[in-house]
Structure 1
């Protein structure tokens, strides 16, 4: 969830930190389970009677989720042409995505439009052109934390949906481990990368205010943070750095704040299982109707 909000988002060591987190947390696997159970029926509904389908990924990272979803879309409508536009601020992650596409034979027929820029810049460019491309399916996975104006961003992308289209927003669950951590220590954490933390609670409140209809699907996930409590553990140190969006947890906070965060991790954000401290990394997938 945490990332460095620079002009091009994930770069160099930040990409490595992000990949380390994904491998340790199992977050993508949890998302894929949800995608596999929810999207086939949604895609059938979205694409019924259409002669072509247009897909937009916003903040797609290295493309693992997009490649899977595009493959699922193709298998739902074999023979129907599909286009894909990708908005991603990181050059390095976009290169990873392109390499993944090259290794995926079924995507050879899909024309990709690569927009290597933050979401805000894509919005400005699209509005400046005037003639905005519309899409059948748009996803925003783990990126709503990094936009300045959540309501305006959602409103813009929702406005790009074609008939029966869906906008899928995946975000940390309200009252989950991340939500508890970032709201309890808002003054310490919301200082650079994320200035206003948002969970599914804020997203749903925004959608309700905008009068948009949506369905919600819970993505259960937990991961082992036991080594975070061992100051000599490199894995634990790396996890703490990522989860608090700091270069170095032990120099980025006072000893008192370090202790308070670790106490919160153990007592409010996690459960104890088989001698391990399992962090509640539950997410929500919100499917917004056109």
Structure 2
């Protein structure tokens, strides 16, 4: 069964499922951010540095490989990881299960599969739902599919309960499997902004801001073995300090998860955020303000 023939297993939650973070205008905001931040390029560099060796360890002696992507978005990074896995084990069949709350981004991912020849060899199962809904569904079914490699890239902010989520996905790992979590680094720009202005920002899809600090504390409390790799990244936010710049406005909207930064906050809050962004979250170089958006790649062992 290929992802092309329309028989792909698909589970879609009822419309009353809580609003995902990325539908409609927020998808455009997200794509705009990706174009300006270099985030995907930084993640891909890390993936290409770390995963070849990991994949060799994970797949040694196995006759098939099963991958689970949680919060895979438009699939740009998944496509690269699956291609890497295929090239590491060309003769081994691979399956991919994808859990993603945004139907729009899932459609983007399906479009990517449709035009990528090597991915058409992989049977995909699509779950258009939140991580917690997938967890509930798996537990209700009772016959849990297990995986060699599970990845959660920039999505752990959106789960209700961090400890339960990590425990559940860790329980789905096969012998010698790995759970890869990529998240903003502790004490980086995002962590500083969102924790300083928690009560103004943690009001919608993100109720509690988490960085690698919370994830690592959680892994330690569960006694799980892990390793951490820093993913260095920064991007230019100079335009954010020019109120008439459209680019600046759009970046500020994305960075505060807001439709309209300038109309949504009081002058004091806006001023405070801008000052924090410039002085505590960024460095200045050649007259440009570079936001510290370092990430952390955490590999959890089965």
Tell me the secondary structure at the aligned position of residue 175 of structure 2. Answer: strand
Tell me the secondary structure at the aligned position of residue 33 of structure 2. Answer: helix
Q: Deviations over 1:188-233 (max 9, x none)?
A: 1111221111000000000000100001000000000000000000
Tell me the secondary structure at the aligned position of residue 271 of structure 1. Answer: strand
2:43 to 20, 31, 40: 31
1:158 to 170, 192, 203: 170
Tell me the secondary structure at the aligned position of residue 186 of structure 2. Answer: coil
Q: Is the 8 A contact 1:59 1:87 kept in 2?
A: yes
Measure how far apart 1:251 and its partner are. Answer: 1.1
Is 1:252 aligned to 2:280, yes or no?
A: no
Return 185-194 or 70-79, whichever deviates more: 185-194
Is 1:133 aligned to 2:145, yes or no?
A: yes
1:260-271 paired onto structure 2 within 5 Å: 260-271=272-283
Structure 2 equivalent of residue 208 of structure 1:
220
CA distance in 2, matches of 1:289, 1:165: 6
Tell me the secondary structure at the aligned position of residue 101 of structure 2. Answer: coil
Q: Deviations over 1:75-110 (max 9, x none)?
A: 000110000000001111000000001111111110
Q: Is the 8 A contact 1:53 1:135 kept in 2?
A: yes
Q: Deviations over 1:247-284 (max 9, x none)?
A: 11111110011110000011000000111000000000
CA distance in 2, matches of 1:126, 1:267: 46
Q: Is the 8 A contact 2:21 2:205 kept in 1?
A: no
CA distance in 2, matches of 1:242, 1:163: 39
1:186 to 198, 207, 227: 198
Measure how far apart 1:7 and its partner are. Answer: 2.8
1:52-67 paired onto structure 2 within 5 Å: 52-67=64-79
Is 1:114 aligned to 2:156, yes or no?
A: no
- Equivalenced residue count is 286
CA distance in 1, matches of 2:70, 2:58: 19
Return 189-198 or 154-163, whichever deviates more: 189-198
1:75 to 60, 74, 87: 87
Q: Is the 8 A contact 1:7 1:118 kept in 2?
A: no
1:232 to 244, 248, 257: 244
Tell me the secondary structure at the aligned position of residue 42 of structure 2. Answer: helix
Measure how far apart 1:8 and its partner are. Answer: 3.5
1:19 to 2, 6, 31: 31
Any stretches of 5+ residues in structure 1 without a counterpart? Answer: none
Q: Is the 8 A contact 1:174 1:201 kept in 2?
A: yes
Q: Is the 8 A contact 1:8 1:91 kept in 2?
A: no
Task: Give the TM-score taking structure 2 as reference length.
Answer: 0.94
1:219 to 210, 231, 238: 231
Compute the RMSD of aligned alpha carbons. Answer: 0.9
Measure how far apart 1:165 and its partner are. Answer: 0.2
Q: Is the 8 A contact 2:66 2:95 kept in 1?
A: yes
Q: Deviations over 1:55-93 (max 9, x none)?
A: 000000000010000000000001100000000011110
Measure how far apart 1:6 and its partner are. Answer: 4.5
Q: Deviations over 1:140-164 (max 9, x none)?
A: 0011100110000000000000010
Change (3 A) 1:188 1:91: same
